[in-house]
Structures are given as structure tokens and as C-alpha cells.
Amino acid sequence: MKLPQDPQVVSELGWAVVKTAYAKLKAGPDSASPDAGLVRGGSVFRCTARSIDPQGLSGGGLWYKYAGGGTEGWLHQDDLAIFDTETQARKAAGDSAGT
């Protein structure tokens, strides 16, 4: 089996880019959870879990699990752009860094 030279790794839930200057990291997947830190805009990470807010999709939306730099928690969908592949996410992060 021959693999392409530049394989695009696909995560089932996708890859995310933080699209705001800083995104508030929460300890749990809801806005009432304690703050767990900040994640800088342009950060790219693999989505390993997704959860519906206790208020439902229309009330609170989706939360994505973040782990990076020794920190983990949950980020809200409004702060993220979701992509199918890491290559797409990194390209988007690079493109947004120039704006």
C-alpha cells in the first residue's frame, strides 16, 4: 500500500483553530463551569471530545475538549473554526495570523 507524500490526518471530530484573540478555557463543557485558563488565538488542536451544553444546542451550543501545553479544558464553538484535517486547520491558522 502506497501512502501519499503529504497525508492529511483526519480526526473523527476534526481539528480546531481558536479564531478569537483569546478563548476562555472552562473546566467543564458549560458556561457555568469555573475558568481553567486562556488559549491564544491561532492555536490548533485535535478535537478529542465534543459535548452539548446543558442548555441544549440552541441555548448553549457545543463545547470541544482542548488539551495542550499542559492545560486542558473545554472551549465553546463560538471561539473555534472546525476543519476536517490538520493541514486545513494549520493553513487557516497561518492565514489568520497575517490579518
Neighbours of 43 (CB within 10 A): 19
Cell of 4: 501519499
For residues 91 and 38, give the distance between their C-alpha atoms in angstroms, rounded to a whole number.
Answer: 22
CA distances from 82 to 5, 33, 94 (A): 24, 23, 15
Domain ranges of the chain: 12-97
CATH top-level class for 12-97?
mainly beta
CB 56, CB 16: distance < 8 Å: no
pLDDT in tens, 22-62: 999 999 999 999 999 999 999 999 999 999 999 988 888 99
pTM, two decimal places: 0.82
CB 80, CB 17: distance < 8 Å: yes
pLDDT in tens, 69-86: 889 999 999 999 999 999
